[in-house]
Amino acid sequence: MFTDDAVYVDQNGKETVRCLRKDGMGISLLRDAGIEAVIISTEENPVVSARAKKLKIRCIQGVRDKAVELNRIAVDKGIPLSHVAFVGNDVNDRGCLEVVGLPIIVRDAHPDVLALAKYRTKAKGGQGAVREVCDLIIKARK
């Protein structure tokens, strides 16, 4: 939830989004703690790829079923889904939120996923929710 779900489109159709640097710092701190983050997106968008590259995290786009992809990642890493946290905000995240050990939603998540979360961020998507989650995970690990 690096963005507030808004997209800016210029006259040529180029999309841009606004991200917070403190969310990026949270990802960096998570990586320094030995915890990997991955972006799984149903959309394919170069702006997402660019942000992931800058943050040095894996980005998988054009995913039809996020839960299938998440399970594939967990199996490849040898990590049970019960040890995985997933941050979501909408109905296309439902499958992942249902199978992970720590389902997290952002403050402004769609009402249809509210009941699936064990944690709901204080911050909205694109307004520090990623950093909030990173800080909580690092703190819990200590």
In the structure, what pLDDT confidence band is assigned to residue 1 with cuts at 50, 70 and 90? confident
Answer whether residue 67 is part of any domain: yes
Q: Which domain holds residue 85?
A: 8-133
CA dist 9 and 51 (Å) reads 17
Domain membership flag for residue 3: no
In the block, which residue shows the tokens 């769609």? 110
Q: Quick one: average pLDDT of 1-9?
A: 88
pLDDT level of residue 98 (50, 70, 90 thresholds): very high
For 107-128, how does the pLDDT look when each residue is reduced to its tens digit (9 = 90+)?
999 999 999 999 999 999 999 9
Give, as one character, the DSSP assignment of residue 101: S
Structural contact between residues 39 and 60, judged by C-beta atoms closer than 8 angstroms: yes
Q: What is the CATH number of the domain that holds 84?
A: 3.40.50.1000
Number of domains, the chain: 1
Q: How confident is the model at residue 141 (pLDDT cuts 50, 70, 90)?
A: confident
pTM above 0.85, yes or no: yes
Whether residue 87 is predicted with pLDDT greater than 90 in this model: the reply is yes
**Statement: residue 31 has pLDDT above 90:** yes
Residue 15 falls inside a structural domain:
yes
The whole-number average pLDDT for the span 59-76 is 97
Q: How confident is the model at residue 140 (pLDDT cuts 50, 70, 90)?
A: very high
Q: What's the chain's length in residues?
A: 142
Residue 138 forms part of a structural domain = no
